[in-house]
């Protein structure tokens, strides 16, 4: 999720700037002012309570705000992220926002403060008042709104300065210049995050070769359980010896071992831009493990991609591979190939379905040349955060 708060006095241009941000990153827009005006229009209990306060330019109580905002946030757990306009406006609301974000397993990524001199705000709001139809866009109420902003809202910035989330933009510039500066801040924020990709697909769909190439292109660490187990055996580590013994007895490698290896990989991979996982998670249990491991490292999944190839084509490819030097021990007979395809269907397809419900899985065709498939995957990765739930 990408969660942003746009901060600034009335008339700073928060609403105007919100429009392009919402479009660019497909964010769910929450303006407490709009929500309150809707309550008033519908003459709800909360609307009736808020009406006279808004008319005078005062701040509505935190009690009312928490009620209108909680439902909107918790009703949209699958949003790409939230853009808050006019919230938080008090110190208490900053804590409320923290709590609500935790409820969704996420956090505020940055606060962007549009700084505008008081007289400029007044002039803009008076101009807006000519057409907005808002009764609070008149000079007496505007002055009171700005006083409330200075007294109660400005101090909230300290809360975010202490957390290192505060970004300042000179809001007196042209709409376009402000927009560019905001974009710069958000892009910088996004670049700090790890890009974590899971690459799904049946054996023979090209996950391995595509995964390695994608890792190289985007500076990601390629995490594939098969080779990792092989490395341990080659190192003759204690774990390697255990793995060898399990292999010798034809037994499956238990999750405890796989988890340890992946955890070590996450810890030892400093300075990478993210991870691309191939062949993991293979089971529902492993999908929970991956979510937990990433969370422990302050990260989460960014994109899940499935390479789709028709079954007959898979069999053809695996059969062809079995006749080359690249033949894996598990591709050496038709019975083994069919067994692997069945294993994928029984154990991994439910994982893909679960991820599809939770985050959305992007399906791409694995047919065509290596370059064509590579282009398709690259396109999805670069396709911003629009498809990311
Ligand atoms: P806005 O549309 O953001 O300018 O808000 C209009 C009016 O709604 C404000 O002057 C306040 O009276 C009220 N309001 C909006 N958001 C909040 C909030 N987060 N806390 C308290 N009052 C708010």
Alpha-helical (H) ranges within the chain are: 14-25, 32-41, 45-56, 62-74, 91-103, 118-132, 139-148, 156-163, 175-192, 207-218, 225-235, 238-248, 255-268, 284-296, 311-322, 334-343, 349-358, 370-382
**Which of 34-38, 127-131, 246-250, 263-267 has the highest mean predicted lDDT (pLDDT)?**
34-38
Mean pLDDT over the full length of the chain = 91
Pick the residue whose CA is nearest to atom 8 on ligand 1.
33
Q: Which atom of ligand 1 is nearest to the CA of 90?
A: 20
Instruction: Please tell me which residue, 211 or 359, carries the higher pLDDT value.
Output: 211
Pocket test for ligand 1, best of 60, 91, 111, 122 (most atoms within 8 A of CB): 60
pLDDT at site 384:
52
pLDDT at site 19:
95
Q: What is the mean pLDDT of residues 149-165?
A: 95
Cα separation, 2 vs 108, in Å, equals: 8
Instruction: Please tell me which residue, 347 or 17, carries the higher pLDDT value.
Output: 17
> Domain residue spans in the chain?
2-192, 195-384
Domains 2-192 and 195-384 share a fold: yes
Architecture of domain 2-192 in this structure = 3-Layer(aba) Sandwich (3.40)
pLDDT at site 185:
95
Pocket test for ligand 1, best of 35, 41, 69, 89 (most atoms within 8 A of CB): 89
Kindly report, residue by residue over 102-115, the tens digit of the pLDDT.
Answer: 888 788 999 999 99
**What CATH topology corresponds to 195-384?**
Rossmann fold (3.40.50)
Q: Which residue has the tokens 């490698």?
A: 253
Q: Which atom of ligand 1 is nearest to the CA of 88?
A: 19
What percent of the chain is predicted at pLDDT more than 90? 65
What percent of the chain is predicted at pLDDT more than 70? 98
68 lines ligand 1 (CB under 6 A): no
66 lines ligand 1 (CB under 6 A): no
89 lines ligand 1 (CB under 6 A): yes
Whether 386 has a pLDDT exceeding 50, the answer reads no
Q: Which residue has the tokens 């964010």?
A: 27
Q: Looking at the whole model, is its pTM more than 0.75? A: no
Give the least confident one: 79-83, 152-156, 208-212, 365-369.
79-83
Pick the residue whose CA is nearest to atom 10 on ligand 1.
57
Instruction: Please tell me which residue, 326 or 387, carries the higher pLDDT value.
Output: 326
Pick the closest to residue 25 from 87, 70, 73, 79 (CA basis): 79
53 lines ligand 1 (CB under 6 A): yes
- Under DSSP, the state recorded for 136 is T
pLDDT at site 325:
80
Q: What is the mean pLDDT of residues 136-157?
A: 94
In terms of Cβ atoms closer than 10 Å to its own Cβ (0-12, 13-18, 19+), residue 323 is exposed
Kindly report, residue by residue over 43-83, the tens digit of the pLDDT.
Answer: 999 999 999 999 999 999 999 999 999 989 988 877 889 99
pLDDT at site 231:
92
Q: Which atom of ligand 1 is nearest to the CA of 69?
A: 19
């Amino acid at each position: 999720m990408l969660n942003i708060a746009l901060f600034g006095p009335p008339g700073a241009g928060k609403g105007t700037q919100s429009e392009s941000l919402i479009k660019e990153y497909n964010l769910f827009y929450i303006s407490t002012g709009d929500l309150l005006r809707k309550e008033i229009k519908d003459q709800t209990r909360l609307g009736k309570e808020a009406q006279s306060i808004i008319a005078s330019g005062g701040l509505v109580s935190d009690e009312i705000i928490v009620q209108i905002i909680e439902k909107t946030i918790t009703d949209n757990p699958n949003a790409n992220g939230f853009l808050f306009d006019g919230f938080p406006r008090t110190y208490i609301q900053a804590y409320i926002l923290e709590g609500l974000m935790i409820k969704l397993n996420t956090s505020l990524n940055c606060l962007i403060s549009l700084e505008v001199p008081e007289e400029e705000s007044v002039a803009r709001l008076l101009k807006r008042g000519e057409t907005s139809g808002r009764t609070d866009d008149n000079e007496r109420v505007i002055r009171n709104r700005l006083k409330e902003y200075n007294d109660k809202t400005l101090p909230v910035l300290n809360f975010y300065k202490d957390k290192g989330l505060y970004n300042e933009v000179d809001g007196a510039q042209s709409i376009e210049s402000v927009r560019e500066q905001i974009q710069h801040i958000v892009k910088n924020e996004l670049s700090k995050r790890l890009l974590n990709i899971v690459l799904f697909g049946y054996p023979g769909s090209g996950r391995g070769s595509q995964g390695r190439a994608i890792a190289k292109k985007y500076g990601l660490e390629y995490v594939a359980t098969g080779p990792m187990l092989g490395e341990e055996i080659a190192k003759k580590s204690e774990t390697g010896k255990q793995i060898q013994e399990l292999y010798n007895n034809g037994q499956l490698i238990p999750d405890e071992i796989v988890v340890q290896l992946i955890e070590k990989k996450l810890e030892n991979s400093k300075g990478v831009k993210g991870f691309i996982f191939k062949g993991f998670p293979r089971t529902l249990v492993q999908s929970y493990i991956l979510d937990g491991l990433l969370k422990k490292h302050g990260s989460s999944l960014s994109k899940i991609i499935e390479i789709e190839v028709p079954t007959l084509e898979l069999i053809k490819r695996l059969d062809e591979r079995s006749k080359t030097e690249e033949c894996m021990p598990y591709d050496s007979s038709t019975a083994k190939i069919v067994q692997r395809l069945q294993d994928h269907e029984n154990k991994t397809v439910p994982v893909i379905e679960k991820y599809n419900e939770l985050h959305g899985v992007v399906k791409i065709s694995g047919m065509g040349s290596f370059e064509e498939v590579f282009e398709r995957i690259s396109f999805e990765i670069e396709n911003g955060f629009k498809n990311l739930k």
